Structure 1
Amino acid sequence: MTGDIALFVNPAAGRGRGAHAAQPAAQVLRDAGFSVRTVLGLDGDDALARAREAVSDGTGALVAVGGDGMISLALQAVAGTATPLGIIPAGTGNDFARTLGLPLRDPAAAARLTTGLLKGQGARAMDLGRVTSGTRTSWYGTVLASGFDSRVNDRGNRMRIPAGRFKYDLAILAELASFRPVPYRLALDDGRVLETDATLVAVGNGASYGGGMRICADARTDDGLLDVTVVGDCDRTTLIKVFPRVYKGTHLGHPKVTTHRVRSLTLDAPGITGYADGEPLGPLPLTVECVPDALRVLAPAASGSAPENPGAEPSASPR
């Protein structure tokens, strides 16, 4: 393996934590004998182009410093290649890192784990979700959200104040006041077509979104399957009661919740935008498939769904 490492940094992640996390991470990598070059972009498109260039140039690993949005960009550069992905969590949600059992509040510790794996057992393979929307294809690692949760993201993204997570708390309240279940059509890979009014449909390669909300609590990243959680036709009172249970995954036992396990599906609903890893994909319909072993990731060996991390910062936003 080449000793060159590309440190892919989002300085603005976690309201500035990305910039602070990059320095100790880079130092740990250099102290371990790696040559580190920092990859920054003027915007998302430029950052992705630079990350792809680093992968094309043969970097030994692309190590992303930031939150789930930054990991999402990194996935577009490394998915389907031999280049391993390392992760230094520095966002507010950090669900990808949580799924993989990585340290969430200690960039130096995350970097030490990364260097140990680079010098030892190396990267392990994991599945990714691949989404097709028209002619556009993109990859994700955690959860694809649609419905109530994606509308919260839509509303939160339009709000300029307040800043931070509280903006999404207000967006939830606003959506609760106005949201109605919408008619979904789900075409599953076994030939079944489900037409149902639903509050939300989530498609999980991993278990959680929104900083630890275990919407697809039984999902694994190494089974070649996607877990689909359908929250049915709920009134506001039921939704308020059910939604907090998502942090422990106990919502899956509620009679309004059904689950499916598939290799692929197409989901459609009017007026709904899909989000994956907290990033907008565009309006439904979307076709989603699980691609086994699509990513080489620098993380501990998989051992089922990741446990709750005591350092997690719960968030009401599905980002």
Structure 2
Amino acid sequence: MTKDRNRSIAVIAMLALVISLIPSMAFGAAKTVKAVTGLEVYQMSNTSAELNWDYVNGAEGYKVYKAASKTGKYTLVKTITSGKRTTFTSRNLKLGNTYYFKVKAVDTIYGKRTLSKKFSNIDSVKMEQCIPDYTIDFPKKLNEDGSLTVTITNKSKKEIQLAASPVIFNDLKDWSKDGILLKAVRYENLNTGDVDTEYLNYPYSLLKGESVKVTYELNKELQGTVSGIKGEEPPKAINYKEGGEGFAIGLTYRGQFFYMAIQYPDGQKLMTLDEYLQEILDSMDAAN
């Protein structure tokens, strides 16, 4: 009797073992979640950074972790519930700080939510002031009608958005040595009069590597207008200031607002067409 009982227990144990091995027999080696690869992080604005990584086949989501140092403690900052979404924007970051990120994939295995055993590669971003990179090609002199045309080329990694409403300035700090400012300046660095920002909400996008010719001129009422920025009617600006050194165009880059300062060539004074014609008449009278 005891022998039969022991035999029955052995058979039951064998059946239990076989049943436990069925998933492995059916699917081969035990299924695991593959690790995320190709993680890249780059700064989007003064307070945000964007993460991108490669899609993990079969993943149902991802978990994003952040730390203040590469070997420090990583905190879960985002759970993504779609396996097809392979991007995340981390916000409320501070200038001057370096942030480290890594990602794990999530999948359901035999009815249980399971994380990949390994993290992705670690990538970092140092938060620095976002300054657009562009060049301004100046003519040697004003146009025949007294207006000024410059060519602006976007050298940045991302698009910049130009606003068609200009600002006239009398003084500017931090000029480059040749008198041409090749970087954006903040509004605080411009000594300007009142600025009408009504038109600054309708920017013209200048993509990476693209150029645009912008012409600035004065009408009879000595109000400045900008033309050449496609898609917008040239709006009126503040009245011209006596002794003005140049004008500025509003621009937005990675969510940050700047003014692009443009100085008149060789200190020339911008003229209206009437002023230009009068100057010609005066020179003819002087010649006679």
TM-score normalised according to structure 2 size:
0.23
Greater C-alpha Rg? 2
Structure of higher RCO (CA pairs closer than 8 Å, 6+ residues apart): 1
The structure with the greater share of residues assigned to helix is: 1
TM-score normalised according to structure 1 size:
0.22
The structure with the greater share of residues assigned to strand is: 2
